[in-house]
Structure 1
């Protein structure tokens, strides 16, 4: 009897105490993406790095992850599903990854070496039951040096590369892992995996996918890193490809955050109390020259250099209301690794026309070509008005005629992996695909002669012997001084023998409700959504 009395008093006191505590509101952060559809939700999303930003790392993780909590330096790497990694002492083409213990997928199954091998088979073993062509194409292109892998024990795997590559972890960061149980539950049908939904290991889990409308995520309270548990309860991601439509969605309260606000709306957003975030990050917005195509005018380096002198980058930055900066190379001119190239690209129509004339293009025989562009997409900024500016600029400054083929973003990405004379290009001699410029791994993917399309990202099929020599040095050394010297040399060749028309570097603008707190704009294409809260 006395026990019941004491228990009753204690319970009553507890209830009174709880009734006096403030009730924590359920928080939902709503984000408008630039994508025209929901990125694929099977564990390796399409739609470029915007897909990885929102439907990749928040849900599905890699052995290696990005460090995204700082704004004052380029994002580096941190341990993810692997606690540590190193090159094998007897073979620098073998990397040993030591897996994190006790990690569970969102469906409660174990993450271990078997799950790693199963996922690698999904990407790299064409006769495996779980092989998926679309995800394989993206992963092979992002990690082109991976050649073999094996399980050492339940918590250790070995991954081999085709040649020594000190920068391989910067490729491994793009290999994401999905629960094998998702594939089994979907009856070995990847098209059905996304509707389950698929299970990852990240700080958020997918709860609902509505194609072309939204994808809903919930905070995963079982996340393996207590320090990285998300602060919001839910995320809603919406594809809104048109910039003014994103602006209207933010103003009306439909969303809390929009990617890439229209430049002419930034001042009014600020005056209305919305927050505009910008920041330097490793991003270049270029045109890719189709050097390898039959009869391509861009086989001549003088033509490639000429266009780099013909465009008015400062004028384009003004059009963008200062949300970009002029590009004179793959890296920013302020980067210590930019080097000292012979060419210093700026708006110089006289020099541009002289180079075109040397290559045989005159007012009587003007340079004329087709460019394939998108209407929106990951990192694409505002491609329609930007490309229209360039079209008029090239015509007026250097007499160059440019025709556009406007396609959906994912089609443009697919085209960038086509061979130079592929019918899918419809005769395009230029592709406008934004690019990361974050590390040597990316440089190797885009410019190494070993990564010619369709096997890699060297769409241009550009080859430069001095660049190749510098890249080999970078791959085989760990000496910081040697790395710096080789990287500068490699970049000088990208400027003087340009595979691209370098246009602008994006300053990564976003617009957010004043309710959004804690957002960090890192020097990366990706963001840490666990830091964000809502008031």
Structure 2
């Protein structure tokens, strides 16, 4: 199926290429064509699916959030900056209540104004089952964060107050990925999210033009965007879902696209020799196997989890990736302020792995058998099957037999939001799902705290660790950045000691692009800003 999708995407690009001048007026249109790793166009309702790529290519292109990430620098970690909200703060008298002061003069692509009523309407689509605009598809993409919200109150046309169940210093991170849809457009298309998906309206730097599911999405420059520094430097953005990495390479080399995500390591030399640009950067992202903690799963045993981690030759995997990755021995790299000082360290030690497995009751006559759900491609999955199959062999060498259930990345996201106890996941011991280390919530709290077990978060394994819960609560209650960092570092150290996940690699986020592409800045973020790109 993936190959068929890829071929149709390439054919669609080839057929469309000679048609592009038909959109030109006084001069030829400048077009940036990007090949994504996903198998379909992300959902266009406002909260896109397809993971980080949905956020990157639909979320911040067509839509805006109250809070943005600064994506203008490649030499430092991204920070939060004003978006549709000019400022935000926790009420000193009631720290569960956050006041957002909104940006004046912003309009949706359909011409309707952005204001406090719009924020209240959008929060209802994610929190109020009685609201006609309530949309479970968009809720599924909020990582359970909106379950923390108790109420949204309009103070005046440009001020709203959002109240959470508990004091939570991480609230600003939540609203960096909550996108605003147009109520006026939703009404105009008949009050249907399916219809809105076919004719969406946001406030972003690109406007929707046309789409064909599984083939292409075309966006055009929004000359009236509220931030003049982010008005695109090209006229049209064409997004192509091409999940097969070799097909993406072929599309770039043949001139049928200009920019590809995640080129395979063995194609880098060929791409460079053809004059293509290869761009990498440190990336707040880790690629692990999440390990089930459901009763009866062998991975509830600490000895088993540590043995699995000791069986993986991460340096060998990095070599296999030709340096397009970094060994992961925790949720963040060892030189990160959040790494901490764990008393037990992840390393490559197959002899110790065998000893621990034997102590746990596994050996040649009783091998440990695991079933792991994986996806062949998708947002942040790197070279998924290449890594998974290498790990399968490494684990076999210490007496662990692993079988894979291979599913589409978007289905993977659904599985993660349902938890290990969810439908269709009986007998699954692991989920190979990339995860963000960009912010403390997505990196730690919402994936570890017991109150974030699905559907209230994305603690897929069903981890219930009192020490994790204590630290998660302390992080959410701490507004001093230095003290919060110290708590996060302690939580990462406990996570390493617990071998909570099977850690593998951190992503260096490679991209390849035509020499015609100029002005791209690869930020240290899952999101990337395409608006500065010029086509020469």
8 Å CA contact 2:89, 2:99 repeated in 1: yes
1:330 is aligned to 2:342: no
1:122 is aligned to 2:125: yes
Alignment-derived partner of residue 508 in structure 2: 507
Alignment-derived partner of residue 103 in structure 1: 106
1:465 Cα shift? 2.2
Alignment-derived partner of residue 232 in structure 2: 230
1:163 Cα shift? 1.2
8 Å CA contact 2:127, 2:146 repeated in 1: no
Alignment-derived partner of residue 9 in structure 2: none
Alignment-derived partner of residue 313 in structure 1: 314
Alignment-derived partner of residue 82 in structure 2: 79
1:356 is aligned to 2:354: no
1:473 Cα shift? 2.3
Alignment-derived partner of residue 4 in structure 2: none
1:278 is aligned to 2:280: yes
8 Å CA contact 2:48, 2:141 repeated in 1: no
Over residues 389-441 of structure 1, what are the superposed CA-to-partner deviations in whole Å (9 max), with x where a residue is unaligned? Answer: 11111102x11000001011111111112243334225211100000001212
1:24 Cα shift? 6.1
> TM-score, length-normalised on structure 1?
0.93
Alignment-derived partner of residue 175 in structure 1: 178
Alignment-derived partner of residue 256 in structure 1: 258
Over residues 346-382 of structure 1, what are the superposed CA-to-partner deviations in whole Å (9 max), with x where a residue is unaligned? Answer: 1100111111122111222111011110111000111
1:533 Cα shift? 1.0
Give 1:150's match in structure 2, choosing from 150, 153, 165. 153
SS at match of 1:469: helix
Rg: which structure is higher?
1
Alignment-derived partner of residue 91 in structure 1: 94
Could you list the structure 1 runs, at least 4 aligned residues long, displaced by more than 6 angstroms after superposition: none
Give 1:69's match in structure 2, choosing from 55, 72, 91. 72
1:142 Cα shift? 3.9
Structure 2: give runs of 5+ residues left out of the alignment: 1-25
1:499 Cα shift? 2.1
8 Å CA contact 2:127, 2:147 repeated in 1: no
Separation in 2 of the partners of 1:480 and 1:380?
31
Separation in 1 of the partners of 2:152 and 2:423?
36
In structure 2, relative to structure 1, the CA distance for the partners of 1:316 and 1:487 (3 Å cut) is: same
1:382 is aligned to 2:351: no
Separation in 2 of the partners of 1:346 and 1:373?
23
1:146 Cα shift? 2.1
Alignment-derived partner of residue 11 in structure 1: none
CA RMSD of aligned residues (A): 1.3
In structure 2, relative to structure 1, the CA distance for the partners of 1:331 and 1:144 (3 Å cut) is: farther
SS at match of 2:133: coil
In structure 2, relative to structure 1, the CA distance for the partners of 1:422 and 1:382 (3 Å cut) is: same
In structure 2, relative to structure 1, the CA distance for the partners of 1:190 and 1:288 (3 Å cut) is: same
> TM-score, length-normalised on structure 2?
0.93
Alignment-derived partner of residue 457 in structure 2: 456
Alignment-derived partner of residue 15 in structure 1: none
Q: Higher mean Cα deviation, 362-371 or 470-479?
A: 470-479
Give 1:34's match in structure 2, choosing from 14, 33, 37. 37
8 Å CA contact 1:186, 1:192 repeated in 2: yes
Separation in 1 of the partners of 2:75 and 2:449?
29
1:268 Cα shift? 1.0
